[in-house]
Amino acid sequence: MSFAKVSVLVEAVADRGGEASDKEVNASLQGSRGLAVTTEGGRWVVDHLSSEAGTDLGLPRKHVYAITVYKPGFHLWKESIFYEKGTLQVEVTLYPDAIEIEDVGNMVDTSLGETSTGTGTGPRQGE
């Protein structure tokens, strides 16, 4: 998917099995993010996070990251990924937001048939 926006946020510190642990994320990583835009071939790379002030924080190992991919006209894709070290490949599939409508002919009965009319009153305030 070309020209989709990719955001990577630290979600949690991970234990040895890659599961989120009870340890709190280092304060210097809170609010940091990695950003990318996919190429025409759909590839993207996030090799570091930046703090809110723009400082390069690298890409801390043994953390769980929330990866979000967005492109107008498609459903938002979001997943939590464990990163230990090295290069991690993530497969992303975006699905169109469009609703498919099939023309199946005249399904609405527009004939009037029997009708009825009546009068009445509805509930009034305070009653």
Q: Tokens 């599939």 sit at which residue?
A: 93
pLDDT tens, 5-44? 999 999 988 877 777 777 888 888 888 999 999 999 999 9
Nearest to 53 by CA among 23, 30, 20: 30
CB-neighbour burial class of residue 36 (10 A; exposed 0-12, middle 13-18, buried 19+)? middle
For 67-94, what is each residue's pLDDT tens digit? Answer: 999 999 999 999 999 998 888 889 999 9
Global pTM value? 0.70
